[in-house]
Amino acid sequence: MVRIVIDILLAVGVFFTFIGVLGVHRMPDVFGRLQASTCIATMGTLSVVLAGVIYGVSSGSEPMTYIKLAIILLLVMGTNPVSNHALCKAAYKMGVKPAKDLVIDDYKEDDPE
Amino acid sequence: MIEFLIAAIIYVLLNFVLLYRVFRGPTAADRMCAADSLDLVSATALVLYSLYSGRSIYMDISMVVALLGFVGTVFVARYLEGRL
Amino acid sequence: MQKPSKFAAWLSTFLFCLLFWLLLTLSLAPREIFWGVVISAIVAALASRFLIHHKAFYLYNPVRLVLLVVYCCTVFLWEVIKANVNMAKIVLSPSLRNYQAGIIRVPGSPEVKSEYGLAMVSNCITLTPGTITMDVAEDEQGNNYYYVHWIDVAETDRDKAGEAIKGRMERWIGRIWK
């Protein structure tokens, strides 16, 4: 029973990581790639950590394992948006052209600096 | 359990797709985006291998990989923006 | 907004670092605690001016931490799962060209004023796949605006777009961080 739950969680994690990697490979411009790569950081890591916690509970591992898993989740979820934001702004300021014209572009009109 | 090893192998195989994007990417921002994702996927694969083998040293390495990938990405982004 | 004294900011950062150290080593041996105190003091002296801005002990409130955990486990998790499924639909569609990207200026609600709150709202927007915060700006009246890159623009009206992007999340964060 526990094994089935762990299998489902791992399958969800592998599927969403596959979505993220495929998005990074297929998207036409930088902004789409950044959007797709968020999938890896959220569902990919979250479901793997949940599977690890359930496995630890069922097999009775030491408490250090849970703390390390929680810290890895905290680090990934806390640092990934910052680097994504920095890369997105850097790509825009560098002058990377989007593959299709943007529907609405308030950032260019207002130009906050 | 063998499922952890299988999932870790799939994650490592997915890394090669990202590596292709790192070599191929048209601009520097594309390469850096793929490299950032590569860090995250390697960290998750290390977590899975640590759960399979039962040795917690791999989890420490995974923590360090996640942190250093973040620091490197932010530095390169600042450099590309021209404010370093 | 008065600034806290330097010692209070240092003490707050020092306690935070020491708690993190104890969590990482998980032992009470005297040698570990000695080196933890030394390293936390150095890190706090270097980093306190980045972490603490107006109230020194604002972060240590158990009610706030409990609310934060509840928020992360319910509202935020549901938003992330929904956005992930939408992203999977976009990536797996054969042509890939049926999305319309755009950068939209979204007004922030007046409840979220502090810097922790602004940072957390923009991080939550970035963590849901499909939206990335590019900048946070403040105008003369004190209103905050987020510039959001949205991969599938469904609304070009700015207020409705703000409600669709961050409506529930921002109300919860306004309850937690003010």
Domain ranges of chain B: 2-81
What whole-number percentage of chain C has pLDDT above 90?
A: 4
pLDDT band at C97 (very low <50, low <70, confident <90, very high): low
Give the containing element (helix H, strand E) for C132: strand C131-138
Residues of C with CB under 8 A from a CB of A: 23-24, 26, 80-81, 84, 87-88, 90-92, 96-97, 99-105, 122-123, 126-135, 137, 147, 149, 151, 153, 156
Min Cα–Cα distance to chain A from C162, Å: 14
Query: For residue C129, what are its two tokens?
Result: 């796949």
Contact (CB<8Å) A14/B17: no
Res. B58: pLDDT tops 80: yes
Instruction: State residue C158's pLDDT score.
Output: 75
pLDDT band at B25 (very low <50, low <70, confident <90, very high): confident
pLDDT, greater one: C42 or A104: C42
Mean pLDDT by runs of 10 across the 113 residues of chain A is 89 90 86 87 89 87 84 88 89 80 72 59
Res. C38: pLDDT tops 90: yes
Kindly report the pTM of this predicted structure. Answer: 0.87
Domain ranges of chain C: 6-57, 62-176
Cβ distance B50 to A66 under 8 Å?
Answer: no
Min Cα–Cα distance to chain B from A108, Å: 16
Instruction: State residue C119's pLDDT score.
Output: 86
- What is this model's ipTM? 0.87
pLDDT, greater one: C154 or B17: B17
Res. C1: pLDDT tops 60: no
Residue with tokens 């801005």: C53
Contact (CB<8Å) A90/B77: yes
Question: Does residue C148 sit in helix, strand or coil?
Answer: strand
pLDDT band at C95 (very low <50, low <70, confident <90, very high): confident
Contact (CB<8Å) C105/A110: yes
Res. C52: pLDDT tops 80: no
Give the residue ranges of DSSP H helices in A27-95.
Answer: 30-39, 45-59, 63-94
Q: Which chains touch A (3 or more CB pairs under 8 A)?
A: B, C
Residues A15, A12: Cα–Cα separation, whole Å: 5
Min Cα–Cα distance to chain C from A3, Å: 23
Res. C160: pLDDT tops 90: no
* Lowest mean pLDDT, pick from A58-67, C113-122, C156-165: C156-165
Instruction: State residue C56's pLDDT score.
Output: 67
